[in-house]
A and B are shown apart, each in its own frame.
Chain A
Amino acid sequence: MSVILIFLAGIAAIITWWMAQQRLTSRPWLEAGSVGDAPHAPHLNGSSIATAKIGLGVFLAVVGALFTLFISAYFMRMGLQDWWALPIPGLLWINTIVLMLSSIALQWAKVEAQKHHAEAMRAGLVAGLVTGVGFLVGQLFVWRELVSAGYVLADNPANSFFYLITGMHGLHILGGLVALSRTTLRAFEAQPPGKVLLSVELCAMYWHFMLLIWLVLFALFAGWANDFVDICRQLLT
């Protein structure tokens, strides 16, 4: 459970940082009369960042907690005796690169949208969409390859976790693809790119986060995360 505790400590740090700016030590009973107890600090009434972005940020924190808990369970289960790690198919490397390309494409779409280049933005969105679908199809091929090599779901906890966690990540990508295709459709309808800018930014943000999670998961399955934990443990003891 230490992984989730470290994650929560990070969240707690963010919350503390945010709260530190909210004048939690003010004495509201003495400060009646003025609107916002500091009129020159309108940030006390909410942030100027778009509400949808804050919503997505909070959602990503929840998704982060979800995957961190899976990773926590993975580490705890790994410590038991019946664990045989599974091989990493070469295709997984290709998938990782495809997902990176997808993320880069969306970042590009976002930058172009900010510059009001409608054509380039659309190209970026379509590229992101295609590579995103490519990643999912690639993951299915990885599953097929592993199954045909005899690594089935229920044989070993390592297999079970691999299918469970990649499946969960895939579902999140799938949900993202739905949002991304809606955004792409709107990008082809709406004339000024400014109208879809926010949606494109949200998609890019989500995609980068999913890429980050995937990289952590990849490191976990390949066993590097293990080595890293060992090093940390040695440093501590």
Chain B
Amino acid sequence: MVNIPSSIDDTVPAAEVEDVELYHPHSWWTTYVFSQDAKVIAIQYSMTALAIGLVALVLSWLMRLQLGFPGYFSFIDAERYYQFITMHGMIMVIYLLTALFLGGFGNYLIPLMLGARDMVFPYANMLSYWLYLLAVLVLVAGFFAPGGPTGAGWTLYPPQAVLSGTPGGQDWGIILMLTSLILFIIGFTMGGLNYVVTVLQGRARGMTLMRMPLTIWGIFTATVMALLAFPALFVASVMMLFDRLLGTSFFMPAIVEMGEQLQHGGGSPILFQHLFWFFGHPEVYIVALPAFGIVSDLISTHARKNIFGYRMMVWAIVIIGALSFIVWAHHMYVSGMNPNFGFFFATTTLIIAVPTAIKVYNWVLTLWRGDIHLTIPMLFALGFIVTFVNGGLTGLFLGNVVVDVPLSDTMFVVAHFHMVMGVAPIMVIFGAIYHWYPKITGRMLNDVMGRIHFWVTFLGAYLIFFPMHYLGLLGAPRRYYELGESAVNPPSAHDLNVFITLMALTVGAAQMLFLFNLFWSLRNGKEAGGNPWRATTLEWQTPTTPPPHGNWGKDLPVVYRWAYDYSVPGAPEDFIPQNQPNPDRISREHIS
């Protein structure tokens, strides 16, 4: 049933898209700093994202210290606490997760996995990073501005975000935050165009869409979504900046502040919420889809088995991407809405569980009777599946209007959100770093440190967030600086808070070990060779490791098969690289 042509050369179609003209750097500056090589840009993106992520990690420690030991640390006053919350949330969601998945892994993996020499618009790609860096610097400037960064919460809801009662509302904080977001979005658009068009036009010969690794499918779909969703945040940011600086009333209703009538009037805070969540919900999947894709590849590679239901996985990614644009108002149940809308948005929200569940089943079925190697990437991938299922189940609670309304302002939401969008994608990021570090540097990360890192992070995350669900069910409200003596804060709940804080500090310390490992292994790691995981995808087949500018030497690779030919019966080895032709006619009859 399958035609295997007599001579491979006959069927190689002429390259439809001409070979990219590479930019040739002439100096140290253009090679390592203002580089147009996607791999260098990827490393720049990742290092910046990890650095700013470290700031957000420290902020979370400070918050936990306040919650666990209220009043012990005099420098954490209520204002600072809100600033920490806001900056922690915004940095983690946008400047770490989005930037690392798309700017970091997207840049590194898209050209390599597709067999391209570079992105299609390298100059715009370089600008994208520098705008991102500028956005990060503007964001950080908030810490040093008079009044400090904004404390409006990561959702920046007006009117409170621009009023004097909120830290940074009438100072520089909110202005710097909005400016930083605008810069980030412009920069991301430049990068995003690259990722999409490279997938469309930059693929090696033979790399049809249905032969792409799922990592690329995830990043590709997420980028398309991000390109369409980020403009909503852009619009909201620009309009709020107008309200704050020029006295317009897009979002600002008539308000009396400190006995004084403000000049605003008639604006609609709900309008902001619509715009924000029209970006905000797709954002969840902008982070989740690359994670889904990467985890599929990690599981398949380290279980030495082809991914179960590849087609279904691709379709599920695309369907999740499309559905995520019509669920945004489930973040606004408590803002009040027509019950029919509530019904509609609850239904669409729950429908997303279907393609998502298909993906989870397929991961589990991929593992079923696989030759599972418990390498560190595999451990993190398994950790992801468990965590994602947990977070997804509480999502079913919160997707229902009647359950969401009483739970919405409690720690339950914090726990759900951190499980599904905090811990789960971070697990994938770690797994991916352990998996691709050998390709990036030529050396393996240290295994012992890696295992300690995994177990402390994985168990610690559960010890942090499981008790938090319980606190939420008890009624402990989120966003509160301190609870004092109240019915929702019995002594047992307070002890639990102390415990969570200690766990948070421990998990944070484990990340320091990880960072140390990153630098230590650069020199002292074991030599990895070109393909340490014996993987099929193209990035492991480069002639040299780490791949040089241009990736492939003289000739571009030609792709002959899909990305998951693991343990093919009759094959001499348990993997067949994508660019390997079929010389010995591996006995296909075993499969078909």
Which A residues fall within an 8 A CB radius of B?
A: 1, 4-5, 8, 11-12, 15, 19, 22-37, 39, 42-48, 51-52, 54-55, 58-59, 61-62, 65-66, 69-70, 73, 76-77, 80-82, 153-154, 157, 160-161, 164, 168
- Considering the chains assembled together, what is the distance between the CA atoms of A65 and B326 in angstroms? 15
Q: Tell me if B13 and A51 are in contact (CB < 8 A).
A: no
Q: Tell me if A154 and B8 are in contact (CB < 8 A).
A: no
Q: Tell me if A23 and B210 are in contact (CB < 8 A).
A: yes
Binds A, one of B52-60, B265-273, B408-416: B265-273
**Nearest CB of chain A from residue B547's CB, rounded to whole Å:** 22
Choose among B17, B265, B274, B310 the residue that contacts A82 (Cβ–Cβ < 8 A): B265
**Nearest CB of chain B from residue A77's CB, rounded to whole Å:** 6
**Nearest CB of chain A from residue B574's CB, rounded to whole Å:** 16
A55, closest chain B residue (CB): B197
- Categorize the interface residue count of chain B: 35 or more
- Considering the chains assembled together, what is the distance between the CA atoms of A216 and B247 in angstroms? 27
By secondary structure, the A interface counts as helix
- Considering the chains assembled together, what is the distance between the CA atoms of A156 and B271 in angstroms? 16
Interface contacts beyond A29-B591, A46-B16, A55-B120: sample of 7 additional A-B pairs, CB < 8 Å, sorted by A: A23-B208, A27-B311, A34-B4, A36-B205, A37-B210, A47-B16, A157-B248
Q: Tell me if A28 and B228 are in contact (CB < 8 A).
A: no
- Considering the chains assembled together, what is the distance between the CA atoms of A77 and B238 in angstroms? 15
Q: Tell me if A59 and B193 are in contact (CB < 8 A).
A: yes
- Considering the chains assembled together, what is the distance between the CA atoms of A142 and B196 in angstroms? 39
Binds A, one of B32-40, B382-390, B558-566: B558-566
Collect the chain A residues with CB atoms within 8 Å of residue B196's CB. 58
**Nearest CB of chain A from residue B267's CB, rounded to whole Å:** 7
Q: Known interface pairs A1-B274, A23-B208, A25-B311. Does A34 touch B266 (Cβ–Cβ under 8 Å)?
A: no
* B 239-279 to A, binary, CB cutoff 8 A, 1 in contact else 0: 10010001111100000000000010111100100110010
Choose among A23, A43, A164 the residue that contacts B242 (Cβ–Cβ < 8 A): A164
**Nearest CB of chain A from residue B498's CB, rounded to whole Å:** 44
- Considering the chains assembled together, what is the distance between the CA atoms of A111 and B203 in angstroms? 32
- Considering the chains assembled together, what is the distance between the CA atoms of A4 and B228 in angstroms? 10
Q: Known interface pairs A43-B16, A62-B228. Does A24 touch B209 (Cβ–Cβ under 8 Å)?
A: yes
A157, closest chain B residue (CB): B249
**Nearest CB of chain A from residue B128's CB, rounded to whole Å:** 13
Q: Tell me if B5 and A33 are in contact (CB < 8 A).
A: yes
**Nearest CB of chain B from residue A162's CB, rounded to whole Å:** 11
Which of A5, A52, A73 has the largest number of chain B CB atoms within 10 A? A73
Collect the chain B residues with CB atoms within 8 Å of residue A61's CB. 227-228
**Nearest CB of chain A from residue B4's CB, rounded to whole Å:** 5
Collect the chain B residues with CB atoms within 8 Å of residue A157's CB. 248-250, 266-267
Q: Tell me if B562 and A29 are in contact (CB < 8 A).
A: yes
Q: Is B315 an interface residue (CB 8 A)?
A: yes
* B 489-500 to A, binary, CB cutoff 8 A, 1 in contact else 0: 000000000000
- Considering the chains assembled together, what is the distance between the CA atoms of A22 and B208 in angstroms? 8
Q: Tell me if A24 and B560 are in contact (CB < 8 A).
A: no
Q: Is B318 an interface residue (CB 8 A)?
A: yes
* B 213-250 to A, binary, CB cutoff 8 A, 1 in contact else 0: 00000000000100110011011001100100011111
Choose among A35, A46, A66, A77 the residue that contacts B234 (Cβ–Cβ < 8 A): A66
Which of A30, A46, A66 has the largest number of chain B CB atoms within 10 A? A46
Q: Is B448 an interface residue (CB 8 A)?
A: no
Collect the chain B residues with CB atoms within 8 Å of residue A33's CB. 2-5, 8, 560-561, 581-582
Collect the chain B residues with CB atoms within 8 Å of residue A52's CB. 121
Q: Tell me if A65 and B271 are in contact (CB < 8 A).
A: no
Collect the chain B residues with CB atoms within 8 Å of residue A45's CB. 13, 15-17, 203-208
Which residues 98-132 of B sit at the A interface, judged by CB distance below 8 A? 120-121
**Nearest CB of chain B from residue A62's CB, rounded to whole Å:** 5
- Considering the chains assembled together, what is the distance between the CA atoms of A87 and B11 in angstroms? 65
Collect the chain B residues with CB atoms within 8 Å of residue A47's CB. 16-17, 200-201
B4, closest chain A residue (CB): A33
Q: Known interface pairs A36-B208, A157-B266. Does A1 touch B559 (Cβ–Cβ under 8 Å)?
A: no
- Considering the chains assembled together, what is the distance between the CA atoms of A26 and B234 in angstroms? 39
A49, closest chain B residue (CB): B201
Collect the chain B residues with CB atoms within 8 Å of residue A65's CB. 227-228, 231-232
Q: Tell me if B235 and A66 are in contact (CB < 8 A).
A: yes
- Considering the chains assembled together, what is the distance between the CA atoms of A29 and B300 in angstroms? 14
Collect the chain B residues with CB atoms within 8 Å of residue A30's CB. 1-2, 588, 591-592
- Considering the chains assembled together, what is the distance between the CA atoms of A1 and B268 in angstroms? 14
Which residues 299-327 of B sit at the A interface, judged by CB distance below 8 A? 306, 310-311, 314-315, 318, 322, 325-326
Collect the chain B residues with CB atoms within 8 Å of residue A5's CB. 325-326
Q: Known interface pairs A32-B565, A33-B560, A42-B16. Does A19 touch B318 (Cβ–Cβ under 8 Å)?
A: yes
Q: Tell me if B560 and A46 are in contact (CB < 8 A).
A: no
Q: Tell me if A32 and B562 are in contact (CB < 8 A).
A: yes
